[in-house]
Homo-oligomer: A and B are copies of this chain.
Amino acid sequence: MYLLVALFFTFSEAAFAQDKVDLEMVHKIKNEGIGNSQIQDLSFHLTDYLGPRLSGSSNLKNAREWTAEKFKEWGLSNVRIDSYGDFGRGWDVKKSYIAMKDPYYAQVIGYPKAWTDGTDGLVESEVTLLEITSEEDFDKYRGKLKGKVVITPANLNSDPAFEAEASRLTDEQLEARKTVSIGGGGGRYTPEMLAQLRAQRALDQKLTQFLLEEGVALRLTGTRGNFGTVFHTRAGSFSTDKLPTVPEMEIASEHHGRIYRLLKNGYPVKIEAEIQVEWLDDDYKGYNVLAEIPGTDKNLKPELVLLGGHLDSWHAGTGGNDNAAGVVVMMEAIRILKALDYQPKRTIRIALWGEEEQGLFGSRGYVQKYVADRNSKEKKAEWDKISAYYNLDNGSGKIRGIYLEGNDMLVPIFEKWFEPFHTMGAKTITTRNTGSTDHVAFDAVGVPGFQFIQDPIDYGRGYHTNMDVYERMQFPDMTQAAVIIASMVYHTAERAEKLPRKAWK
């Protein structure tokens, strides 16, 4: 492994003299990023001030307007809130309350599932435990559920945490991340497993329909997470032709467990609960926020270096690590470059994507509109203009390296560009892929798109939860990330050639 690295270094210095690091600029970027950091103030505004930023919600609209205003304040050019096409129905929570009334009063930590319908005022009802494992089981409950609260079993883990919930990547882990395995890694579904999954899914859909027909007042679902942390999902769809669903709340695993065990042991449980929601039907479009430092080189200025992260979040925290962190770091990176009065050769564009959490809507919409159609393979105006898209969406842990998505040609270039940041812990260049976020939209059409390797800290403990908030964000780590990304963007913008590409398969 070390031999391999040494080989690349030699290769790099011979063939990529153009990829020399501009240490004077790196020095300036570090000075501005560390000396005048806006990370903490931006983080406060993105989380506490703007609140949860669910796809299509009023808060997300506010966040678009606030970030666009901030870009204008910084003197960025071509600041615009750009529709990428259709998203669906917006949805705001106006009230949410749930408590157990019998066998004694007890508050329940619970949140409306995203895009659930509201309840018909305050629901007060005994809870029915639904144990449905086959079609026949529906008959046991038919005609008995009108106005009732129902709960389904869940297999939730409550083991104590004998391992630390937060960690940084060790040198060994980073080194291991460079290895690329060839061929199937096992773990695939057998036909029997697939059939079982399909059957369960069909039963789940039937249950949803059944509860609606029965006139159930409220459905309670347990989630993973513990000690009061609740992971979020959505209830049905945000699409404009969505059918009504039974109001549904996700409750803390401990409270789900308590209600489940009481019912299973034959003790009645009574719940009082209320959900008020507002559907936003005035605008079904989705948007990205875009802003630029215009290129100044006669030939290169139509070309682009993109950096970005997603502005939307789930709805019960304030999306601190997922992904106010990425948005703040990217905003700070472009702020640093602008504050240095840097005149790039290529145009630098920041993009704050909408609706990532519901399926990369913003970045895919942007690519579809400006870059290429990934189905027909039709290339559009920006396809051959984008040198790279840099993304940050794995929490607020510092950058330890970068995933190259199989692009071997980039190894020597990025090895070089990371050199000044070895002392900040960032040095691992891997050709591995990583998934699940907006760089995928670019990579899918053959345009270089990258996500960084980040220290996990306690990302897995809190992302997508009610507790993904300001307190989760690691400001010194984010400062490091902003400095590194500003430098990466600078070197990409100044490079004689666009970054080498993989073939678009």
The answer on a CB contact under 8 Å between A49 and B105 is no
Please judge, given known A-B contacts A52-B106, A95-B99, whether A471 and B254 are in contact too, CB under 8 Å: yes
Interface flag for A458 (CB, 8 Å):
yes
A96 on the B face (CB < 8 A): yes
Task: Name the CB-closest residue of B to A471.
Answer: B158
Bitwise, A77-97 to B at CB < 8 A (1) or not (0) is: 000000000000000111111
Chain B residues whose CB sits within 8 angstroms of the CB of A223 once the complex forms: none
Q: Output the nearest chain B residue to A267 by Cβ-Cβ distance.
A: B49
- B261 touching A104 by the CB < 8 A rule? no
Q: Could you show 5 A-B contacts with beta carbons less than 8 Å apart?
A: A48-B261, A93-B105, A163-B164, A228-B229, A228-B467
Q: For residue A106, which residues in chain B have a CB less than 8 angstroms away from its CB? A: 51-52, 316, 318
Residue of B nearest to A456 (CB): B160
A167 interfacial contact with B, CB 8 Å: yes
Residues of B contacting A257 in the complex (Cβ-Cβ under 8 angstroms): 48, 469-471
- Name the residue on B nearest A320 (C-beta): B254
Q: A427 to chain B: closest CB distance in Å?
A: 21
- Which residues of B lie under 8 Å from residue A92 when comparing CB positions? 105
Q: Which residue of B has the minimal Cβ distance to A459? A: B160
Most buried by B among A106, A111, A316: A106
> For chain A residues 239-266, which have a beta carbon within 8 Å of chain B?
252-254, 257-258, 261-262, 265
B residues less than 8 Å from A52 (CB atoms)? 104, 106
Are A458 and B97 within 8 A (Cβ)?
no
A229 contacts which chain B residues (CB < 8 A)? 227-228
Q: Which chain B positions have C-beta within 8 A of A49?
A: 103, 262, 265, 267
Contacts of A261 on B, CB cut-off 8 Å? 44, 48, 470
CB distance from A486 to the nearest CB of B (A): 25
**Does A347 touch B at the CB level, under 8 Å?**
no
A94 and B103 within 8 A (CB): no
Contact across chains for A470 and B258 when beta carbons are under 8 A apart: yes
A161 contacts B103, C-beta separation under 8 Å: no
Q: A217 contacts the other chain (Cβ, under 8 Å)? A: no
B-chain residues with CB within 8 Å of residue A111 when the two chains form the complex: 107
Q: Within 8 Å CB of A47, what residues of B?
A: 258
CA distance A195 to B474 in the complex (A): 37
Residue in chain B with minimal CB distance to A159: B166
Q: Are the CB atoms of A162 and B158 closer together than 8 Å? A: no
The 8 closest A-B pairs by CB, nearest first: A228-B228, A160-B166, A158-B471, A51-B104, A160-B458, A161-B165, A227-B467, A48-B258
The yes or no answer to A446 lying at the interface (CB within 8 A) is: no
**What's the least CB distance linking A294 to chain B, in Å?**
33
Q: Please give the distance in Å from A252's CB to the nearest CB on chain B.
A: 8
Residue from the list B58, B97, B230, B265 in contact with A97, Cβ < 8 A: B97
Indicate if A457 sits at the interface (CB-CB under 8 A).
yes
- By a CB distance below 8 angstroms, the chain B residues around A462 are 227
